[in-house]
Chain A
């Protein structure tokens, strides 16, 4: 009833015959024919999760390709002082997050120590004090937000004559104070700071191995304790001076001459800027060696992806050739070849990978031997798929027809049978990629492949292994590689499923 109401009554005279006297059987089709790949593409396009996954893969791929070129850092960059600093983005940092800061609980002495660094340089270590409390023993504690970049503070640099002069010129030119007066505080016992370079003030007890509580004056200020003399240019210093210097003819000492050059006390973040030309900031923080995680991740991803794609391609080619021969000829050839591939299939991958590492790593390097290990057994899966497809198609009439017309074996294989099974095989090849990436990360995590010998290479597994011991204290070292590899695996699996659905709609949703 409803439907009848919806159809408006049309006058019978308005109907016209479309093709009363025309014969259309010899005319060309008006629409373009949709080919096999075009058809698959149309289906793939409508699969939203697969498209998202593909986009993600492309983004990660671009990340891996571009970052090493634009990044300020490289894998071989290892900063001895900026170890395990937290992620920081200079653009976003003023907003109060992604700023390389961490919430810490500090004792009174620790609080004063950190505060003193900021006090001397103006680069505050303690960004914010949340609250403070007194525990049962009467000791005072602070909950503070600490800038892990400024935490380093000072260190004693040994500069050659040329470096020293250049640094002073730089100071004069820019007006940035890098060199600070040497400290007179005895530093032998203190655990904190880089050789005690941060103790510029008077300490309550210099001889004890304590955290170094300072002596404060009546206003609660630190009492400066610099080396000083009446010689204004002691140590050849001729550049900027800090506030309060030169009173009553007493001059602070900025440098000491030693056998190799000059010992100076420099503020590390400024000195870093002077050396490298950019403000120190690590988007994903640094690891235990002081490497930039962001760059390492890109290199690791590049390595993983390159390896996976190489393995997938080579296995694809080998598998197709092997499987075609098996499937096409059948009989005894098939039987023998099947036995060989069966045995190879049953060798555990760990065994192959380890044996290849033990045998070849010293000769051709760990990467190539890993590639060999993946290839030795990896093609078996593709070969099996190709073989099945050949058995499926080779009995078809169109193959018989082509054979009757005199097509050669090779032509039959590669022109007639193979294209029909292409979709399934490509899907299979793509599906091996996440497996390769996982195996590679596992092997490098377990240190079975050891990439330490090559300074410009790292892998996600190596990065994870390096962060293992710091999981509770510096989780960011593991967090970023773990997230990265998870996204990569999920994307590749979704993409593979999408490909399978596109090439073979009858299997849609079979196991997702």
Chain B
């Protein structure tokens, strides 16, 4: 198992390295936008560019880029937006918004998704199951921004329960005040519909397969009640597949949703990414590309490895 984990992590870094090189080269091939004259940080930006070796060969620049990150944790400075501020600092300032909103959404989605999934699996082929499955189909298919518009129109505009946009930190005090939370609710709702549907579908599929297993019959024959058999045997087996998915989702909350952040004006990582593309700030763009790639890779690894940790059978299989 340890060997497998190490192998996966090494492979992950190899992949990350290759993708970083490709991104870096492709970005450096683009025409470099001039430093904006506005602001007093022009000299700082120019000095930074000099340090990054901006008029030397691309591979030297790449080497300097990696060296600066590894030795000084220096990801460069903003050139077209947040001029003169460190990329890393700005990202760390934005990350909490994304994480908090997505964390709430996951926290809401897990119990609802699992509950509905279990219920549908237990009522398999009855009308309750048909209803839930149909709704799941609809909620998985409909794009998240459609919910966002609906939520915004119905709850924010027609009913006036929530503000249209996220409260700013100066209005709400901090990220964890009640005012901030209520202004997050529309975004949380829009994010959750799809996630709940995903969890429900997965749980239902897994559990209904497990329920047909012979050992379930055995458990009932031994004299366990249906509830006991389900909670002690069926759920535990179904969890082998469901838990890794939940772990994966937890890693994914750092990435957030570009479009939901855009619609509700959440000043998170996703919005930063979109702005960096729109104003062509390649330092931000590069750092965020690495960030997103890493999140994808890490969540993939976490899912794979957690299978092994949860299910001894898989762990043993990997030793071969």
A residues near B (Cβ < 8 Å) are 342-343, 346-348, 350-351, 354-355, 358-359, 434, 438, 441-442, 445-448, 464, 468, 471-472, 475, 478, 482, 485-486, 489-490, 492-494, 497, 510-512
Residues of the B chain whose Cβ atoms lie less than 8 Å from the Cβ of A442:
143, 145, 258-259
Any A CB within 8 A of the CB of B19: yes
Q: Which residue of A lies closest to B280 (CB)?
A: A358
Judge if B47 is at the interface, Cβ distance under 8 Å: no
Given contacts A438-B143, A486-B141, contact A446 B30 (CB under 8 A): no
CB pair B30 A471 closer than 8 Å:
no
Cα A446 to Cα B152 with chains together (Å) = 18
Write out the residue numbers on chain B whose beta carbons fall within 8 Å of the beta carbon of A494: 137, 141
Min CB–CB distance A470 → chain B (angstroms):
11
Q: Chain B 41-78, CB within 8 Å of chain A: the 1/0 string?
A: 00000000000000000000000000000000000000
CA distance A447 to B271 in the complex (A): 12
**A348 to B258 CA separation, bound complex (whole angstroms):** 13
Q: Which residues of A have CB within 8 Å of B27?
A: 355
Q: Which of B26, B143, B259 has the most CB of A within 10 A?
A: B143
Q: Which of B88-96, B99-107, B173-181, B293-301 contacts A (4 or more CB under 8 A)?
A: B293-301
Are B292 and A489 in contact, CB atoms less than 8 angstroms apart? no
Indicate which residue in A447, A490, A512 contacts B278 across the interface (CB closer than 8 Å): A447
Judging by beta carbons under 8 Å apart, are B274 and A512 in contact? no
> Which residues of chain B have C-beta atoms less than 8 A from A438's C-beta?
143
Given contacts A346-B296, A471-B157, A490-B138, contact A354 B143 (CB under 8 A): no
24 chain-A/chain-B pairs, Cβ below 8 angstroms? A343-B15, A343-B19, A347-B19, A348-B293, A348-B296, A350-B292, A354-B277, A359-B29, A434-B141, A446-B262, A446-B274, A471-B153, A472-B157, A472-B164, A475-B153, A482-B150, A486-B141, A486-B142, A490-B141, A494-B141, A497-B137, A510-B205, A511-B202, A512-B136
Kindly state whether residue B140 has any CB partner on chain A within 8 Å: yes
Question: A482 is contacted by which of B23, B30, B136, B146 (Cβ under 8 Å)?
Answer: B146
- Among A346, A475, A489, A497, the residue within 8 A (CB) of B142 is A489
Interface residue ranges, B against A (CB under 8 Å)? 15, 18-19, 22-23, 26-27, 29-30, 133, 136-138, 140-143, 145-146, 149-150, 152-153, 157, 164, 201-202, 204-205, 258-259, 262-263, 273-274, 277-278, 280, 285, 289, 292-293, 296-297, 300
A355 with B23, Cβ < 8 A, contacts A471-B153, A475-B153, A478-B149 known: yes
Task: Please state if A441 and B143 are interface contacts (CB–CB under 8 Å).
Answer: yes
B4 CB, min distance to chain A CBs, angstroms: 16
Query: Given the complex, which residues of B lie within 8 Å of A342, measured CB to CB?
Result: 15
Q: Is the CB of A445 within 8 A of B141?
A: no
Inter-chain contacts of A346 with B (CB < 8 A): 15, 19, 293, 296-297, 300
Cα distance, A478 to B143, chains bound together (Å): 13
Residues of A within 8 A of B152 (CB): 471
A490-B137, A511-B201 as given contacts; A350 in contact with B258, CB under 8 Å: yes
For B153, give its contact among A348, A434, A448, A472 (CB under 8 Å): A472
A445 touches which of B133, B145, B150, B273 (Cβ 8 Å): B145
Q: How far does the alpha carbon of A493 sit from the alpha carbon of B140 in the complex, in Å?
A: 9
Question: Which A residues are in CB contact (< 8 Å) with B150?
Answer: 482
What is the CA–CA distance of A231 and B145 in the complex, to the nearest angstrom?
A: 62
* Contact B19 A512, beta carbon cutoff 8 Å: no
Partner of B30, one of A347, A350, A358, A489: A358
Beyond A350-B258, A355-B26, A445-B259, 5 additional pairs, beta carbon < 8 A: A442-B143, A445-B262, A471-B149, A471-B153, A482-B146
Chain B nearest CB from A476 CB (Å) reads: 11
What is the minimal beta-carbon distance from B231 to any residue of chain A, in angstroms? 23
Collect the chain A residues with CB atoms within 8 Å of residue B29's CB.
Answer: 359
CB pair A489 B205 closer than 8 Å: no
Could you say which residues of chain A place their CB within 8 Å of the CB of B133? 512
Which of A438, A446, A478 has most B Cβ within 10 Å?
A: A446
For B164, what are the chain A residues with a Cβ–Cβ distance below 8 Å? 472
Please tell me which one of the listed residues A350, A446, A478, A512 contacts residue B201 in the complex, with CB atoms under 8 A apart. A512
Interface centre among A351, A359, A447 (most CB of B within 10 A): A351
Q: How far is the CB of A370 from chain B (nearest CB, A)?
A: 14
- Minimum distance in angstroms from A298 CB to a CB of chain B: 19
B72 to chain A, nearest CB (A): 25
CB distance from A1 to the nearest CB of B (A): 30
In the complex, the 9 A-B pairs of residues with the closest C-beta atoms, listed nearest first: A489-B141, A490-B141, A472-B157, A511-B205, A486-B142, A493-B141, A348-B292, A482-B146, A351-B289
Cα A445 to Cα B289 in complex, Å, equals: 20
A510: chain B residues at CB < 8 Å are 205
Q: How far is the CB of B269 from chain A (nearest CB, A)?
A: 12
A343 vs B293: C-alpha distance when bound (angstroms): 10
Could you tell me the distance in whole angstroms from the C-beta of B150 to the nearest C-beta in chain A? 8
Residues in chain B near residue A447, CB distance under 8 A: 278
CB of B259 within 8 A of CB of A446, answer yes
Whole-angstrom distance from the CB of B29 to the nearest CB of chain A? 7
A485 to B145, CA, bound (A): 11
Contacts of B138 in A (CB 8 A): 490
Chain B residues near A350 (CB-CB < 8 A): 258, 273, 292
Alpha-carbon distance A346/B274, docked complex (angstroms): 20
A384 to B22, CA, bound (A): 23
A137 to chain B minimum Cβ distance, whole angstroms, is 23
User: Could you tell me the distance in whole angstroms from the C-beta of A65 to the nearest C-beta in chain B?
Assistant: 23
Query: Which residues on A sit within 8 Å (CB–CB) of B202?
Result: 511
Closest chain A CB from B191 CB (angstroms) = 14
Given contacts A442-B145, A486-B146, contact A493 B259 (CB under 8 A): no
CB proximity of A315 to chain B, nearest CB, Å: 20
Report A129 CB to chain B, min CB distance, Å: 24
Query: In the assembled complex, which residues on chain A have CB atoms less than 8 Å from the CB atom of B296?
Result: 346, 348
Are the C-beta atoms of B157 and A512 separated by less than 8 Å?
no
* In the complex with contacts A346-B19, A354-B277, A490-B293 CB distance below 8 A: no
Q: How far does the Cβ of B16 sit from chain A's closest Cβ, in whole Å?
A: 8
